Structure 1
Amino acid sequence: MDTRKYWLTTMQQIVKPVIDAASVKELKKRMPIEEVEGAGREHYSRLEAFARTLNGISPWLEHECGDPEEAKLQASFAEKVRQGIVHAVDPISPDYMNFSDQGQPLVDTAFFAQAILRAPTQLWEKLDPSTQKKVITALKQTRAYKPHFSNWLLFSAMIEACLYQIGEKDWDPMRIDYALKQFEQWYVGDGHYSDGPAYHADYYNSYVIQPFLVDIVDVVGEEYPEWQEKREILIERAKQYALYQERLISPEGTFPPIGRSLAYRFGAFHHLANQALHCQLPLSLHEAQVREGLTAVIRRTFQSHHMFDENGWLTIGLTGHQKTIGEHYISTGSLYLATFIYLPLGLDVNASFWKAPAEDWTGKKAWDDQDFPIYQSIK
């Protein structure tokens, strides 16, 4: 199968249950809640599934792909997604989602906000005015909660960046400025940030930190000179972390099971996928090798016959069904962060990312007796 078609096929296999159910006001009815015993995630899991799914497919929904058959599929998905948004933000809908109770909705409202930034035409401009007002209400409801002193600062900042982008006058630059300044203090070198005062060996530089920093400054950077000055520094660090991430992919398409939130599966490559989408890979890292490396990860993960339950919903696990890796904050909805690997589907079918001749990724070159460049660190 053509590589892009393979990506599309596997992406649809993941997202279709979520989008189909949400479009007809039945996400709460159809979606199971798998979680660690006593975790109590029932109140949050549907927004997690919906917002994370939208975020992962938003670039694909937004950009003309250059293929008529695929364009029909895009249009169908986009219409279903908009129907899902209508139901999600309507207080009288059976699928009305929790944007305000406790702190967790801050996280997934931010993923929803990032989806709007990635697909402003499909996920904002094409909404009716009444739904737009309800979306704004949902975004602002999260202001009632103080983010944890960690990557959560960026969730508040992303929501404000979205409010800025859609023209809200009362967007709050302080929430953005605080997050940017705090993460500058948390930079530990070689393209890595600590997630709070102490460094943690996990994938949160990719799940949240790097993509959020770059996307936020891209949207609001011109508002203040000091924000704009940060942009080039953030991009340089982002390129370095992309270089690092690509080298985590083994010759077999696996990656180290390090840190928490491993149930997000190949969502661990959110950052590398985002850099490919924005055509901001370092010069030494070719698009074709990133494509082939990420494809190897997708293929390896899909080898498991236990990735989905009998109705097509994701199960807790890194590969198949491995419930023991589900932390207290993990439930069925959380798992849809896996869709973030599919961001490059927002590139045209004729983009070099898809059309460049196949090239082995660094891990495969290194263990296959091929020449490969030495890794060079930055400050």
Structure 2
Amino acid sequence: MHLPPPDHTLSPRTGYTRAHWEAAADALLAAVEPYATEDRALYHLPGDRESWSGRLSDGLEGYARTLLLAAFRRDETALQRYADGLEAGVFGVWPRIEDRSQPLVEAASIALALRLTREVLWDRLDEGVRQRAAAWLGDALTAEPWPCNWELFPVTVGGFLQSVDHEPEAAGKAIDRGLERIEQWYAGDGWYTDGAGRAFDYYNGWAMHLYPVLHAWFADDSRLLNVYGSRLQAHLSDYARLFGGDGAPLHQGRSLTYRFATTAPLWLGALTGHTPLPPGETRRLASGALKYFLERGAVDSGGLLTLGWHGPDSTVLQGYSGPASPYWASKGFLGLLLPPEHEVWTARELPGPVERADAVTPIAAPNWLLQSTRTDGLVRLHNHGSEDVRYDPYYTRLAYSTVTAPSSWYDNSVIVGDDPSRTGIEPLGVGDGWAASRHTAGGGARVTSVVLVRGAAEVRAHLVSGAEPGTPVRVTGWAAEGGVRAEVVPVFGLGESLTGVTGDGDGLFVALARLTAEPDPLPLEDVVSVRVEGAGEIHVRWSAGPEVRLRVVDGAVVSGDLVRVSGGGVGADE
């Protein structure tokens, strides 16, 4: 991909400016064009993978997601090609929108693009084409979505159809129904779960915030914009901390092949005026993520986005991932809606949170603890509250980072017996430098876990309850490669192999851990010391900081120096 020369005066951190974003958008659009069908209604991108929805749906996905990119770019030449494809698509080429069908997803991208470009695309279509297109989209108003972020696709379609006065009553009902349904998943402080349970991930940004805020913004609905905009603003306070110094997003959750779609909520805050971030920080974080992926093989030699993370990588894919799925990355170009003279493009880049100072940030809603270090630019997420409805390594490991990926050998896990699973995660609280949870593993055993962090160092303690005496317990740490150093040091209950066994009653297992890119860090034992006394009382002393005392019991962490944490809530210990 050919990009302009870097501008390190305006953008000292990344060198990227609006011109780089425009060039990247143009290159991505040019690369997909040869794969359009003759009538331009479908884009069949190359590859031997087909999603579970089939080839026709995958072709529609290619059309819809790249149309969204053309809409953000406001490329009238490209948009005319998509207008031709729209006409062919609604006259019998595209599959119908049915309950829980992939075309419902793509209808939202098409509707959003049409709303963005109404005067240069929709208004120029023949009346008959507009009627057929509205009728095709109209099926989204009554189609039943999956009970997750899909609830917002009828909202987005309904917003467009209402704006063109097509079935306004039905459109209004679809909007109200979808917005009402997502309320049950709002967890507070700007965080949503992606449906029932505790699935916290990037769908917060590229779906749960994006669609309601854009809907309210388009509709000029000050009441809704105040509700959803204030949630977005709160979310961005945490979200900005999820990017490493090299621009990498945290490697956690599903659909990671969307890559720099992670930047969408950053731009959304600037676009609607609901952001706590200075303009120069917004652009630095967004440009950092785009640059991170473009420099690491996200685009192949033909200019196409690959199915993967850096380059092709099947481990980050789901059954619904087809050849065109990565083009939801188009959402990352939302910032192009901001005019060139907007301060988000003209302000000098400012450092992101990880570049300013070491920080440990508790996030209450997902029960996460973020640990970032300025010297190496690493961000680590200690996960004590997020899981998918099934065991999934991208949701259920104890920790994630901007430089590691879940491994096949069950990194960041407590393996009870031969069972590495972590299910039924119960958040027990998060606070200043600590997080705790309980989960089920090993055929019904209960594991209560607490992590304490300072700098890059971690103390991990696990209490295993309900296991048969003599059950082996193994603790694993970070999976690191490529110049990043991972360490795990046994402290209590574990041998050099990081394996111990349960006895009669509960078993306590304590280890030190660290993930760092520093070339010559101090030995972990010089950074933190831990001793266990009496009935499992743990004493933690940091080399630069006070001693912390805590005791872990089944489903609780009790200490006079921490807070009391239990299944019944969190409160100060008296």
Normalized against structure 2, the TM-score is what? 0.56
Give SS of 1:188's match. strand
Q: What is residue 187 of structure 2 aligned with on the other side? A: 188
Aligned partner of 2:78 in structure 1 is 77
Please tell me whether Structure 1 or Structure 2 has the larger radius of gyration of its CA atoms.
2
Give the 3-state SS of the residue equivalent to 2:20 in structure 1.
helix
Aligned residue number for residue 274 of structure 1: 268
Contact kept, 8 Å, 1:23 with 1:80, in 2: the verdict is no
Residues 1:7 and 2:26 are matched in the alignment: no
Look up the equivalent residue of 2:312 and give its one-letter code.
H
- Kindly state the Cα deviation for residue 43 of structure 1 after the two structures are TM-superposed: 2.6
> What amino acid does structure 2 have at the position aligned with 1:319?
H
Specify the alignment match of 1:295 in structure 2: 287
Q: Which has the higher contact order (CA 8 A, sep 6+)?
A: 1
Structure 1 residues 309 and 89, CA, compared in 2 at 3 Å: closer, same or farther?
farther
What is the deviation of 1:40?
Answer: 5.0
Instruction: Report the CA distance between 1:169 and its aligned residue.
Output: 3.6
- 1:21-61 per-residue CA deviation (whole Å, 9 max, x = no partner) reads 4485256475225436x835313112212212222342331
Tell me the CA shift for residue 324 of structure 1: 2.3
- Deviation (angstroms), 1:241: 1.5
- How many angstroms apart in 1 are the aligned matches of 2:48 and 2:256? 15
What CA RMSD, in Å, does the superposition of the two structures yield over aligned residues? 2.5
Listed as ranges, the matches of 1:1-379 within 5 Å are 1=5, 2=7, 3-19=17-33, 21-22=35-36, 24-25=38-39, 28=42, 31-35=45-49, 39-61=52-74, 74-91=75-92, 96-100=93-97, 103-143=101-141, 145-172=143-170, 173-220=172-219, 222=221, 229-282=223-276, 285-305=277-297, 307-366=298-357, 367-368=373-374
Equivalent position amino acid for 1:233 in 2: V
1:143-195 alpha-carbon deviations (Å, 9 max, x no partner): 45311121111111211111101111444222221222222232101101122
Secondary structure of 1:251's partner? coil
Change (3 A) 1:97 1:32: farther
Residues 134/17 of structure 1: CA separation in 2 closer, same or farther (3 Å cut): farther
Query: Structure 1 counterpart of 2:286, which letter?
Result: L
Identify if the C-alpha distance between structure 1 residues 99 and 267 changes in structure 2 by more than 3 Å, giving closer, same or farther.
farther
Task: Give SS of 2:55's match.
Answer: coil
> 3-state DSSP class of the match of 1:11?
helix
How high is the TM-score relative to the length of structure 1? 0.83
Distance 1:308 1:183 in 2: 34
Identity level (%): 25
Deviation at 1:118, TM superposition (A): 2.2
Counterparts of 2:260 and 2:147, CA distance in 1: 26
Distance apart, 1:212 and its partner CA? 0.8
Aligned length: 345
By how many angstroms is 1:247 displaced? 1.6
Gaps of 5+ in 1: 62-73, 223-227, 370-376
Greater alpha carbon shift after TM alignment, 234-243 vs 138-147: 138-147
Contact 2:44–2:62 (CA under 8 A) maintained in structure 1: no
C-alpha spacing 1:183/1:30, structure 2 compared with 1 (3 Å)? closer
State which drifts further: 156-165 or 38-47.
38-47
Amino acid at match of 1:25: D
Superposed displacement of residue 323, structure 1: 1.8
Q: 1:134 is matched by which residue type in structure 2? A: R
SS across alignment from 1:202: coil
Taking the aligned partners of 2:227 and 2:142, their CA distance within structure 1 comes to 32
Alpha-carbon distance between aligned partners in 2 of 1:250 and 1:267, rounded to the nearest angstrom: 16
Task: Mark the CA change 1:75 to 1:179 in structure 2 (over 3 Å): closer, same or farther.
Answer: closer
State the AA in 2 paired with 1:14: L
What is the alpha-carbon distance in structure 1 between the residues aligned to residue 128 and residue 53 of structure 2? 32
Q: Distance in 1 between matches of 2:125 and 2:37?
A: 14
* Kept after mapping to 2: 8 A contact 1:19/1:50: no
Deviations 1:317-364 (A, max 9, x none): 112111222110001121100111111112222211111122112222
CA shift, 1:113, in A, is: 0.9
Greater helix proportion: 1
Contact 1:20 1:80 in 2 (8 A): no
The alpha-carbon distance between structure 1 residues 218 and 29, as it changes in their structure 2 partners (threshold 3 A), is: closer
Secondary structure of 2:334's counterpart equals helix
Does the CA contact (< 8 Å) of 2:263 and 2:289 recur in 1? no
Equivalent-residue separation in structure 1 for 2:328 and 2:44 (angstroms)? 19
1:51–1:112: 8 Å Cα contact kept in structure 2? yes
